[in-house]
């Protein structure tokens, strides 16, 4: 099975929200592929971030790139249609946050979006056996969800290899995304373990000179160079 094309998904959690449209324009112009939304409700995770209005605002601003919405909310189903109508491309959620995982996946698809599941570092993968036919993306958390800027948990590499085997055995075109502590120094080994979609927030937005309009080019180019070196 051929892997999906590598995609860098820039997490706006680390962006300057006072200049969000400009920030997203610059990071996409620098070579990022997706815009990643970390949606937290101060219930499922101990933090509160953004909602559908921000997604809609970026679409109205002119953003046409895929928007990759990671829901860290409970319950899930109520907010899915709002994000779909606001312009989300992918909507992923945690199985622990849904009473009926199959139904939530179908709801996302019925709303016209691609659907995915998110697995925390200690969440087992067994549920994939029953819903793999409805999944377009599998997101592995390489940190515990709730806050940006955390360090990559090394055992995530073992889990990545397991998910890659599951995807390849399914014969389906499913993106394998990793979120948490992704940076230029580890993105190669993350790809070699099986990932094809890489969420980076602080590594991109926190590593740049805010006065330089080309500020994100260097870090995105470093990511691309490391990905090109990956062997598997």
Q: Which helix (H) or strand (E) holds 138?
A: strand 137-141
3-state secondary structure 106-171: HHHHHCCCEEEEEECCCCCCCCHHHHHHHCCEEEEECCCCCCCCCCCCCCHHHHHHHHHHHHHHHC
- Confirm whether 179 is a catalytic residue: yes
Take residue 45 and report the two structure tokens written for it: 């995770």
Residue among 6, 38, 77, 168 flagged as catalytic: 38
Residue among 41, 68, 136, 179 flagged as catalytic: 179
By C-alpha distance, which of 198, 169, 170, 167 is closest to 184? 198
Sign of CA dihedral 135, 136, 141, 142: positive
Take residue 108 and report the two structure tokens written for it: 């996302």
DSSP code, position 42: S
Which positions are catalytic? 38, 179
């Amino acid at each position: 099975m051929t892997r999906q094309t590598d995609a860098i998904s820039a997490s706006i959690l680390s962006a300057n929200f006072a200049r969000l449209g400009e920030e997203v324009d610059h990071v996409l112009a620098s070579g990022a592929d997706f815009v990643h939304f970390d949606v937290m409700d101060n219930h499922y995770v101990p933090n509160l971030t953004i909602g559908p209005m921000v997604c809609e605002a970026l679409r109205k601003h002119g953003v046409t790139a895929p928007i990759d919405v990671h829901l860290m909310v409970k319950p899930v189903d109520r907010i899915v249609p709002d994000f779909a109508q606001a312009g989300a491309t992918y909507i992923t959620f945690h199985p622990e946050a849904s009473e009926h995982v199959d139904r939530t996946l179908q709801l996302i698809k019925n709303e016209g979006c691609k659907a995915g599941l998110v697995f925390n570092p200690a969440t087992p993968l067994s549920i994939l056996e029953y819903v793999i036919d409805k999944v377009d993306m599998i997101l592995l958390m390489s940190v515990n969800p709730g806050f940006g800027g955390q360090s990559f948990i090394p055992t995530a590499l073992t889990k990545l290899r397991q998910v890659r085997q599951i995807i390849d055995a399914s014969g389906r075109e499913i993106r394998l995304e990793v979120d948490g502590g992704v940076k230029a120094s580890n993105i190669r080994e993350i790809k070699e373990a099986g990932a094809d979609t890489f969420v980076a927030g602080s590594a991109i937005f926190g590593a740049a000179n805010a006065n330089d309009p080309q500020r994100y080019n260097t870090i995105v180019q470093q990511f691309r160079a490391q990905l090109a070196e990956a062997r598997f």
